[in-house]
A and B are shown apart, each in its own frame.
Chain A
Amino acid sequence: GAGVSQSPSNKVTEKGKDVELRCDPISGHTALYWYRQSLGQGLEFLIYFQGNSAPDKSGLPSDRFSAERTGGSVSTLTIQRTQQEDSAVYLCASRGRSNEQFFGPGTRLTVL
């Protein structure tokens, strides 16, 4: 079946603008994760959704970052008033019954 998809694949924005990044998880997967990967760095956990439970937001770096998941499926990560240090690849992953995570191709965000 279809894998995890993310859009846009690339986003260039000006400092101070808001951006929205979208993730479509694998159908039926109840868990959804957002990560940030800065150039040459490992994965930084941002936020986790599991079913109808309250999300774990412990990884969000500032209150400019927020995320929601509508209807237990699609998720949107919003970054308000973007800064140059927000430039990174934002990865989404979903998980089914096993502990394996399935990753999307990522959105490369560049803040000028």
Chain B
Amino acid sequence: GNSVTQMEGPVTLSEEAFLTINCTYTATGYPSLFWYVQYPGEGLQLLLKATKADDKGSNKGFEATYRKETTSFHLEKGSVQVSDSAVYFCALSVAGGFKTIFGAGTRLFVKA
């Protein structure tokens, strides 16, 4: 079946530190991969996506590369800010499938 596994949080970093949140997946077919972000008190919003192998999604200084050989889609940012404090969800959707499978979420705290 399809599943998403992401690193457990919380992750606590100082401002300007490098961020990596690991995400691996299992899927039948060729999934599209997503990172969603949920800021405190808000709903989820799409952060970035990649639809095929070796694609790199990027937005707001975050990026993730679709690695088919390692079935991974790790989220990275070179220098985090306090405003990046949020919960980050890795997700996949199989082409033609209706469900998006979400990981459990990783909470990020960034200290000033």
Question: In the complex, what residue of chain B is closest to A43 when comparing beta carbons?
Answer: B102
The secondary structure that dominates the B interface is strand
Q: Which chain B residue lies CB-closest to A89?
A: B43
B32 near A99: Cβ-Cβ < 8 Å: yes
Query: Interface size for chain A: under 10, 10 to 19, 20 to 34, or 35 or more residues?
Result: 20 to 34
How far, in whole Å, are A19 and B89 apart by their CA atoms in the complex?
28
Give B81-106 interface residues, CB cut-off 8 Å to A: 89, 93, 95, 98-100, 102-105
CB contact between B89 and one of A42, A50, A102, A105 (< 8 Å): that residue:
A42
Dominant SS among interface residues on chain A: strand
9 A-B residue pairs with Cβ-Cβ distance under 8 Å, sorted by A, are A4-B43, A31-B98, A41-B105, A42-B104, A91-B44, A100-B49, A101-B100, A103-B44, A104-B43
Q: A100 near B34 (CB under 8 angstroms)?
A: yes
A50 — which chain B residues lie within 8 A by C-beta? 98
Tell me whether A103 and B45 are in contact in the complex, defined as CB-CB below 8 angstroms, given that A42-B102, A42-B105, A48-B99 are known contacts. Answer: yes
Q: B69 near A: Cβ within 8 Å?
A: no
CB–CB B43/A100 < 8 A:
no
